Each structure stands twice: as C-alpha cells, then as structure tokens.
Amino acid sequence: MPRGDKSSYTDKQKRQAEHIEEGYEGRGVSKKEAESRAWATVNKESGGGKKSGSGRGHTESRASSRKGGHKDGASTGATDRSAAAKKGWETRRKNRG
C-alpha cells in the first residue's frame, strides 16, 4: 500500500476528515494544509486507518475535537467567565424580588 493511500480508512473516518478539512478551509488554511491537518486529527483520534469489525477497535479519544479550533483548547478566557458570572449574579439579584 503506497504512502497516503486512504483505502484502509472506514467511511466514517473519511467523512470525519472531510468535515474537519472544511472547517480548516473556512478559517483560511490552504487546501493542502487543511487536508494534512484533517487526516492528522483523524489519526490522532482513532489510532489510524482501520476497517470496522467485531473486536477490532478501541475507544476513540475526542481530545482534538473538544478543542474546537482554539489554540490552547480553552473555550473562553478568565475575563469572559468573570463577565458572565457578574451578569448572572445581577440577573438573579433582580429576579429575587
């Protein structure tokens, strides 16, 4: 099997790579780089190309997906969380009566 051959990947893995690639392209990454990153992400999550079947798999890590495009994996900064907490506190105080 030549290097770069995708025949050993499942249909689900191919769909995942395509979806991830579209996300990268939407953020301005070149087509070639987006494809490379997408397959790297699929490999990291699922352990590489494999065919489905009973007893052949192991649980997949979703760490890469959870990052959601943020460089350090954080969804919001401390300032945003603090602002949200203050807003919630004000709302609860107003609604108390």
Domain membership of residue 23 (yes or no) is yes
pLDDT in tens, 5-43: 888 888 999 999 999 999 999 999 999 999 999 999 999
Residue 85 lies in a domain: no
Residues in the chain, total: 97
Please check whether residue 79 lies inside any domain of the structure.
Answer: no
Going by pLDDT thresholds of 50, 70 and 90, the confidence category of residue 4 is confident
pLDDT on residue 38: 94
Query: So what's the pLDDT on residue 37?
Result: 94
Residues 6+ apart with CB under 8 A from 61: 44, 45
Q: What contacts 86, CB < 8 A, 6 or more positions away?
A: none
Query: Which pLDDT value is given to residue 17?
Result: 94
Q: Which domain holds residue 25?
A: 8-50+61-71
80 belongs to a structural domain: no
pLDDT at 30: 95
Please tell me the total count of domains within the chain: 1
Q: Is residue 66 part of a domain?
A: yes
pLDDT in the model for residue 68: 67
Whether 3 is in a domain gets the answer no
In a domain, 39, yes or no: yes
Read off the pLDDT of residues 44-97 as tens digits, 9 standing for 90 and up: 888 888 767 777 767 778 777 777 656 665 666 778 888 889 999 999 988 886
